[in-house]
Every structure is written in structure tokens, then in C-alpha cells.
Amino acid sequence: MLLDSFLGWFSMDMGIDLGTCTTLVCVRNRGIVLNEPSVVAVRKGTNIVLNNGEAVGFVAREMLGKTPGSISAIRPLKDGVISDFEITEAMLSYFIRKVHGRGGRLVRPRVVIAVPSGITAVERRAVIDSAERAGARKVYLVDEPMAAGIGAGLPVTDPTASMIVDIGGGTTEVAIMSLADIANCESIRIGGDDMDEGIINHLKKTYNLLIGEARAEKVKIQIGSASPLEEELTMEVAGRDTISGLPRKIVITSEEIRESLKETIAAIIDTVTATLEKAEPELAADLIDNGIHICGGGSLLRGTDAVLANATGLKTFMVDDPLSAVARGTSVYLENLEQWKDTMEHSEYGWE
């Protein structure tokens, strides 16, 4: 314990929520210290990160969709899978360096990383290897829904069921937990990005209007919904006409946007009900009192809690600060690393 706090002076242990849209990093006793888009800008056709490895996060997002021919901005975790190991590693390395300081500290940090529960053993291994090469001395993995439950303050270690639905950009994770373990979980590679995609397709099909991903996300946040609104909304949106090729503006309504999001919402609902159907009867019974807790950026879509309550007959609760629940959970793991580390999947080498 003493040695641990002594080492704390020299290294800065960190918890990382490696999200498909956003990466958050927290440091023990300091809370969230980094919150940046999971984006990397590279020279086209290569794995060379621009600006000497510094074109990551906010800097790289600025380039997304507006990149000149020789540059591409990549989201290495876009669909919840690591599409490119080298680029993921470059991204982790940049974030770890940014938080830990460049060579300023003597001891490399221990790192707790939350990963989607649906990723393969090979991908889990790749995350550990990337973080090691990116400068961690020891890497521990936690399942994202477990971290979310802990971050949300749910009684996940008690002999009662807690249920988390985490709707991210590229994935949705649904899990029922009890006694510090995941009893049932489902993970689908569908999330907020697919809602944006639905909006893009609707505008193209109905109005011959092409819009980009960033604008589609704005539409979703401004007027998107999963269930009817008390007062329906409208919004003006600009894009390029697919026939004339010229810029054009139209007015769209929240009803038609809701329709374009239907498929994604239905997939999320199906995943939630499928998870419930597989639950042990005792745990299912607990959920009548405990309800479902929802988090992740996608849960901010208006009416998401209502449609889930409707489909399952259970109470639904929005987690406070739903975008940071996973990161806050990793920080609880950091605080308890001494007790919990033996139960966590971790790197083989490096002293604890």
C-alpha cells in the first residue's frame, strides 16, 4: 500500500474508456482529465499519423470529412471492432502520453481499460498489446457494462440483478449483472452512428439531398426522438442536391426523422428483450424492482427511456452524466486495484 502510494508520485495510473466515438481518461483522485474524439488523421493509404503522431483527437476530428486528398481521418474503433491495430495503438499512445506527460515521470503507468464485452479474445489481446506498446507498464481490462454499472453507482457486487443498456456510437451493450459478475450480456455493432446513417439515407431517398455525417448527427441531436414528442419540432437542413449537384436547403420534421431512426431503435429494443429472455428467473424477478439503467451518448436521444420501458414493462432510469459512466467506473477499479487485480484480465509482464 505504502509502496503503491510512493509509486503514485512517479507514475500516474489511469482508467480509459476506449469508446467508438469518444475516449475518456481518468486519473485516480483527479477524475476525468481527458475527453477527446477517438479519431486519428493519417497520410492516405498509410499508417503514418500526421504531425509526428500528434494528429489525434480534437485535432483529427476537425479534419474528418473535410480532409484534402492526401489525408484521411480514421475512427479506428468505429464499428466496435478494432479495424486497425496500428492506428489504435497510435491513438492510445497519444492519449497516454498526453495525460502522463512526456518522459516527465520515472515510472510507466498502470492502465485499466474498459472494452466492449462483445469483442473477441484476439481483439482483447490487441488492446492489451497496444496499451503496453503505448507506454503502460501493466494493463487491466474490464468489461464496459460492468464499468458502466459501477460508474453509475449500481449495486453490482450485491446478490441482486442490475441491468445496464449502454448505447454508444458504434455499439450497444446490454448486460445483467449480479455478485460482481456479468450474468447475461448481448453486444451489437449498432448505435448512434447508425441513427445518423438512417437520417442520411432518408434525406437522400425522400429529397435527393446529400448531407454529411456531422450534419446528420446535428439533426439527430436537435430534433431526433424515439417516441412521439409533446410538441413536434422542425429544422432547416442544407446539403447538396443529388440531381442538380448544387447546394440546397429544406425543412424537415421530427416525425420523419423519428421514422428514419426506427430500424436502429428496433435493433436496440430487440437486444434488450433478448437479454431479458435469457436471464435466470430470480434475476429477472429482481429487475421488476431494480429496473433498467441506460447510459451512453445514444441514450440522450429523446424518448429512448420511454420506448425501452414500453417494450419491456420495466422501469427505466437515465444514469447521471451518461457519457462518463464507464470512465468513472474505471476510476473505481483504479482505487480498488489492489483487491481486484487478480480477477481482471491483464498483461503478462510488467510489475503490479
- Binding residues for ligand ADP, rule: CB under 6 A, are 19-22, 168-170, 191-193, 217, 220-221, 224, 296-298, 300-301, 323
Cβ closer to ligand ADP: 217 or 286? 217
Q: Which of 12, 13, 15, 19 binds Mg ion (CB under 5 A)?
A: 19
| Inter-CA distances, 221 with 192, 268, 299, Å | 10, 18, 11
What's the grid cell of residue 150? 459501477
Site string for Mg ion, 162-201 (x = CB under 5 A): ------x---------------------------------
What's the grid cell of residue 44? 492516405
Q: Using the structure block, give the residue that is written with the C-alpha cell 474524439.
A: 37
Which of the choices ligand ADP, Mg ion, none does residue 21 contact, using the CB cut-off of 5 to 8 A by kind?
A: ligand ADP
Instruction: Provide the pairing of β-strand 22-27 with 14-18.
Output: antiparallel
d(CA 75, CA 237): 25
Instruction: Output the smallest distance, CB 288 to ligand ADP, in A.
Output: 27
Contacts of residue 168, defined as CB under 8 A and 6 or more positions apart, other chains included, come to 19, 20, 21, 80, 191, 192, 296, 297, 298
Which of the choices ligand ADP, Mg ion, none does residue 109 contact, using the CB cut-off of 5 to 8 A by kind?
A: none
Cβ closer to ligand ADP: 137 or 215? 215
What DSSP state is assigned to residue 138? E
Secondary structure (3-state) at 237: strand
Which of the choices ligand ADP, Mg ion, none does residue 221 contact, using the CB cut-off of 5 to 8 A by kind?
A: ligand ADP
Instruction: Output the smallest distance, CB 31 to Mg ion, in A.
Output: 17
Cβ closer to Mg ion: 59 or 327? 327
Report whether 112 contacts 330 (CB < 8 A): yes
Instruction: Output the smallest distance, CB 116 to ligand ADP, in A.
Output: 8
Cβ closer to Mg ion: 23 or 130? 23
What's the grid cell of residue 6? 510512493
d(CA 16, CA 24): 6
Candidate segments 11-19, 80-88, 258-266, 333-341, binder of Mg ion by CB under 5 A: 11-19
| Inter-CA distances, 251 with 155, 162, 237, 314, Å | 46, 42, 6, 37
Contacts of residue 160, defined as CB under 8 A and 6 or more positions apart, other chains included, come to 178, 286, 290
CA angle 330, 217, 294 (to 5 degrees): 40
Cβ closer to Mg ion: 172 or 254? 172
Instruction: Output the smallest distance, CB 166 to Mg ion, in A.
Output: 6
Candidate segments 3-11, 17-25, 49-57, 265-273, binder of Mg ion by CB under 5 A: 17-25
Instruction: Output the smallest distance, CB 77 to ligand ADP, in A.
Output: 8
Residues forming the site for Mg ion (CB under 5 A): 19, 168
